[in-house]
Structures are given as structure tokens and as C-alpha cells.
């Protein structure tokens, strides 16, 4: 009998960590919110601890991600499911309107520079 983890069981810990990081949370913060100890979260992300269905559902909710993605049922995320984009959206929503306008102008300038470099390699 082979005790090596299958790709499916290895997916959950990897995705748990990715979702936690995308949510901008530390293991300690998650442990506190879940009423657990930090090493418990670490063990979950390392694949060394079984995760109950209830825990997984709570983590998906906490990380604002789909349970199906954590389970590996959704192989690819849509652009709106990209953890980096979700984190950026959360951070942008915290900005003052004037700061957001300045940032959008900076992004437009960066895109313009990239377009010019692409036209003149």
C-alpha cells in the first residue's frame, strides 16, 4: 500500500497557504480567528493534519475563496479569483479617493511606457 499523498490531497494544503497569503493573513491571525493554535494552521498547510469539512468551509469563508477551489475541483482560477488581484482590490478599497486617482494615473503611465517600449524594442 502506498502512503504517499495523492495529487488531490497535496493540493489542499498548498491552496490553503496560497489563499491565506492572498488574504493578507498570518498563520497566527488565522489561528486566532479560527480559535486554534498557530501550529495547527501550520500543520494543515504542511499537509500533516487532517482538516474537517467544517474547518475547510470556515477557512474558505475566512479567505474569501471558493471551497471548490481549495478542494482542487477548480483547476484554474478566473482572473477575478487570482489571489493577488483579490488582495490588490482589498487594499485599493482602503485608499482615499485622491490617492486612488493618483495610483490609477500611475498605472496608466506605466502601461503607456510598456506600450512604447513594445513598439520600439
Q: Tell me: do 14 and 66 sit in the same domain.
A: yes
The pLDDT, as a whole number, for residue 120 is 59
Q: Tell me: do 62 and 92 sit in the same domain.
A: no
CB 83 within 8 A of CB 21: yes
- Any idea which of 57-66, 71-80, 93-102, 110-119 has the lowest mean pLDDT? 71-80
- Dmax (CA) of the chain: 62
Model pTM score: 0.58
Q: Tell me: do 48 and 91 sit in the same domain.
A: no
Q: Is the pLDDT of residue 116 over 80?
A: no
Q: Kindly state the DSSP code that residue 81 receives in the 8-state scheme.
A: G
Domain count for the chain: 2
Tell me, what CATH number does 45's domain have?
Answer: 1.10.260.40
Q: CA 69 to CA 115: how far, in whole Å?
A: 34
Q: CA 31 to CA 34: how far, in whole Å?
A: 5
The pLDDT, as a whole number, for residue 121 is 55
Q: Tell me: do 71 and 86 sit in the same domain.
A: no
The 10s digit of each residue's pLDDT in 29-80 is 999 999 999 999 999 999 999 999 999 999 999 998 888 888 888 655 555 6
Q: Tell me: do 72 and 89 sit in the same domain.
A: no
Q: Tell me: do 37 and 54 sit in the same domain.
A: yes
Q: Which three cell numbers stand for residue 63?
A: 479567505
DSSP secondary structure of 17-46: HHHHHHTT--HHHHHHHHTS-HHHHHHHHH
Q: Of the candidates 78, 97, 113, which is a domain's last residue?
A: 78
Q: Show the domain range for 101.
A: 82-121
Amino acid at each position: 500500500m502506498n502512503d504517499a499523498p495523492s495529487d488531490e490531497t497535496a493540493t489542499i494544503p498548498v491552496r490553503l497557504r496560497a489563499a491565506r497569503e492572498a488574504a493578507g493573513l498570518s498563520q497566527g491571525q488565522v489561528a486566532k480567528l479560527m480559535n486554534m493554535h498557530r501550529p495547527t494552521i501550520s500543520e494543515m498547510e504542511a499537509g500533516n493534519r487532517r482538516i474537517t469539512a467544517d474547518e475547510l468551509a470556515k477557512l474558505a469563508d475566512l479567505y474569501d475563496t471558493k471551497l471548490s477551489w481549495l478542494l482542487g475541483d477548480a483547476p484554474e482560477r478566473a482572473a477575478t479569483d487570482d489571489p493577488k488581484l483579490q488582495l490588490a482590490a482589498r487594499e485599493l478599497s482602503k485608499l482615499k479617493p485622491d490617492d486612488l486617482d493618483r495610483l490609477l494615473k500611475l498605472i496608466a503611465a506605466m502601461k503607456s511606457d510598456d506600450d512604447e517600449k513594445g513598439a520600439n524594442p
